[in-house]
Each structure stands twice: as structure tokens, then as C-alpha cells.
Amino acid sequence: MNRLNRTDRARVLHLLCEGTSIRAITRLTGISKTTITKLLVDGGQAAAWYQDRTFVNLTGRRYQVDEVWGFVGAKAKNAKPEAKAAGEAGDIWLWLVTDAETKLVPSWFVGGRDSDSALIVMDDLAARVTRRIQLTSDGHRPYLEAVEGAFGADIDYAMLVKMYGEAPEAAKGRYSPAECIGIRKTTIEGSPDPDHISTSYAERNNLNVRMHQRRMTRLTNAFSKKAENHAHAMALHFLYYNFVRIHRSLRTTPAMAAGVTKRLWEMSDVVSMIEAWEAVQTRQSRLAA
């Protein structure tokens, strides 16, 4: 397989991060699907590697956490039992943490919607912050044990539970959501500020994911075929979201707002980051040999 030059790499990565499917990129650029997929995998691994080392000693005060549903291979009801058992098909969940002030996403995880995944996300967040934080989640019960295990009593934590009723007749359709008829705020630990008990920014980030990642767009055949590639795509998305894409209300990137970087990244910087990761992989391979 021929290696793409820097310009082609930047172009393909930009298309991937702006919601273009792999097959569409192939049609637009003439670059093979295999080459694009390899770049996605390498880019995702490099993005996770870079952000894991960069998002340390964060000073954010308020964070929100939420989960986004997706599927791999086939929806759970259509997946073959053996494929579901092997984790090759069925539901998959993206957990993401959003800084309510800078909109940075320092922690995310792709997995099931279970206690193990919740603990991984909360442990990761706890390792990145330097101060007592306020955290808001929805009413998903695994958060209770996960937050306590990661932070103990050193957190101001609340749950926001939305209550739903029937959708109005005029709005009913095949995919009509239920109508939110109220919310309930419950303090779980510490003394969270009631005015900042919210999951609005995390839920808005759910929309960002669906708009910028084609494999998360509903009613298409661009869904992920492998769980590993799904995770790589999410890591690449958050690198683009955190460092490259200017947030409309902030008028800068979340990484700049959080003080993680002092400059606006371009796609050429993403390519340079991938090249740095590749150099590390090459050195490690040589040492192992």
C-alpha cells in the first residue's frame, strides 16, 4: 500500500472529521477504501495517544457526563447471537465528559452501558483534574458506584433526571421522541451548586458527534463494522473537536479555552501529530526487536 503524502492525509482526515463516509471519500479523492481505513486507524490511535498525554492537570470546575448510543455491524435486535456474544455486532455506547465552561472533552470511552464502562470513565476523569469538581450525570445507576469509587467524598456530584410523557399528537411520527414534562435534581455527594446542575452541554456534544461522525448518523449504511474502528473514529473526532474546530460561542477551540494549547490547530498539525506517533511506534518496534 502506497503511503499518502501530507496534503492527501490532511484532506482525508478533514473529510472524515466533517462527517463524510469512507466510500464517499473514495469517490471524491480516488484513494482506496483500504488506505483511508488504515489512515483512520492510525489517526485514531495517534489521537488517543496524544490526548491521553496532553489532558493532565486540568483546572476545570464543572463537568457533565452522558452516553451516546450507536451500534456496530447490526442493531442488537438484528444481530446474530454468536456475533453479539463476540462483541462483533449490536449496541455500542460512547461515554463522554464535557467541561461546562471550556467545552473541552477530556475523557471518553467506547464500550457497553454498564458499571465497568462507567468506572473506566470516572477513573480517567479523576486522574486528569487537579481540584474538587462539580459533576452532573443523568440518572443512570452505574454512575453512583463509579463516581464514589473514583472520587470518594472529594466531589460535588448531582444527578439530573428527566421525566417524559407522551409525544403530542401533532408531533408523533416514526422517530418522535417523548415529551420532557419535568426534571428532578438530586444531590448525591457534597454541595453542588443547583444553578449548575445540568447536562445540557453534554447532550449538545452528543449532537456534535452525530453531525461530525458519519458512522453515528441515523438511517444510513455508514455505521461501524468493527468496534475497534468505531473507537478509533471517536478518538479522532475528539482531537478534531478539541483542537481544530472553532467553538461558535467560545470563538476559539476548547483546548485553547482550557489552556491546553496556545494556538489554533490546522489539519497539517494533526498530520504532524500522527507522524510523531508513528515515530514512537517505529522506535518501540526496533527496541522490541
Domains and CATH numbers, the chain: 6-288 (3.30.420.10)
163 has a pLDDT exceeding 80: no
Mapped onto helix, strand or coil, the DSSP state of residue 136 is strand
- pLDDT, averaged across the chain: 91
Residue 1 has pLDDT above 60, yes or no: no
User: What is this structure's pTM?
Assistant: 0.90
Q: How confident is the model at residue 271 (pLDDT cuts 50, 70, 90)?
A: very high
Q: What percent of the chain has pLDDT over 90?
A: 75
- Distance of alpha carbon 78 from alpha carbon 76, whole angstroms: 5
- Per-residue pLDDT tens digits for 225-269: 898 999 999 999 999 999 999 999 999 999 999 999 999 999 999
**What would the DSSP string read from start to end of 149-204?**
HHHTTSSEEEEEEEEEEPPPGGG-STTPPPEEEEEEEEEEES---GGG---HHHHH
pLDDT at position 176 is 64
